[in-house]
A and B are shown apart, each in its own frame.
Chain A
Amino acid sequence: MIVGEQKTLDEIMGLLGDAHKVLVAGCGTCVTVSFAGGEKEVGILASQLRMRSKLEGHPMEVDEVTVQRQCEWEYIDPLAPRLGEYDVILSLACGIGVQAMNERFPDSITLPGVNTVFLGMPVEQGIWEERCQACGDCILGLTAGICPIARCSKQLLNGPCGGSQNGVCEVNPDIPCAWQLIWERAVKLGREEWLLEIQPPKDWSKSRDGGPRKIVRDDLRLADME
Chain B
Amino acid sequence: MDMTAERTDEYKSGSNLEKILRAGHFAVTGELGPPQGADAEVIHRKAQLLAGVVDAVNITDNQTAVARMSSIASGVLAMQDGLEPVIQMTCRDRNRLAMQSDLMGAYALGARNVLCLTGDHQSFGNHPTAKNVHDLDSIQLIQMVRRMRDEGVFQNGEQIKAGVPRFFIGGAINPFGDPFEFRPYRLAKKIAAGADFVQTQLIYDIPRFREFMKRVVDMGLHEKVYILAGVGPLKSSGMARYMRDQVPGMIVRDEYVDRMKGAIAGIPKEDKKARRKAWREMGIKICIEQIQEIMEIEGVAGIHIMAVEWEAAIKPIVEGAGLLPRPQVE
Contact = CB atoms under 8 A, between A and B. Distances in A.
Given A163-B121, A198-B139, 4 more contacts: A154-B92, A158-B138, A162-B173, A187-B181
A40 B142 CA distance: 53
A201 B92 contact: no
Contacts of B123: 171-172
Given A184-B179, A198-B192, A162 B135 contact: no
28 contacts: A154-B137, A155-B134, A159-B185, A159-B186, A159-B189, A160-B186, A162-B118, A162-B173, A162-B174, A162-B201, A162-B249, A163-B121, A165-B178, A166-B178, A169-B248, A170-B120, A170-B121, A170-B124, A171-B121, A180-B179, A192-B185, A195-B182, A196-B188, A196-B189, A198-B143, A201-B136, A201-B140, A201-B144
Contacts of A199: 140
A161 B141 CA distance: 14
B174 to A, nearest CB: 3
Contacts of A167: 178
A201 B155 contact: yes
B286 interface: no
Given A154-B118, A165-B248, A160 B179 contact: yes
A42 interface: no
Interface residues of B, number: 39
Contacts of B135: 201-202, 204
Interface of B: 91-92, 96, 118-121, 123-124, 132, 134-140, 143-144, 155, 172-174, 176-179, 181-182, 185-186, 188-189, 192-193, 201, 248-250
A164 interface: yes
Interface in A189-226: 192, 195-196, 198-202, 204
Nearest to B248: A170
Interface of A: 153-172, 177, 179-180, 183-184, 187, 192, 195-196, 198-202, 204
A118 B108 CA distance: 44
A157 B178 CA distance: 16
Nearest to A166: B178
Contacts of A158: 137-140, 186, 189
Contacts of B250: 165
Interface of A (DSSP majority class):
loop
B193 A198 contact: yes
Closest CB pairs A-B (n = 6): A162-B174, A170-B248, A158-B139, A163-B248, A161-B118, A156-B137
A115 to B, nearest CB: 16
B250 to A, nearest CB: 8
A160 B193 contact: no
Contacts of B132: 154
Contacts of B155: 201
Contacts of B139: 158-159, 198
B249 A156 contact: no
A163 B120 contact: yes
Nearest to B190: A158
Contacts of B136: 201
A154 B124 CA distance: 13
Determine which residue in A162, A165, A196 has the highest number of CB atoms from chain B within 10 A of its CB, and name it. Answer: A162
A195 B189 CA distance: 9
A18 to B, nearest CB: 31
Contacts of A153: 121
Contacts of A195: 182, 185
Contact of B177 (A162, A200, A201): A162
A194 B208 CA distance: 27
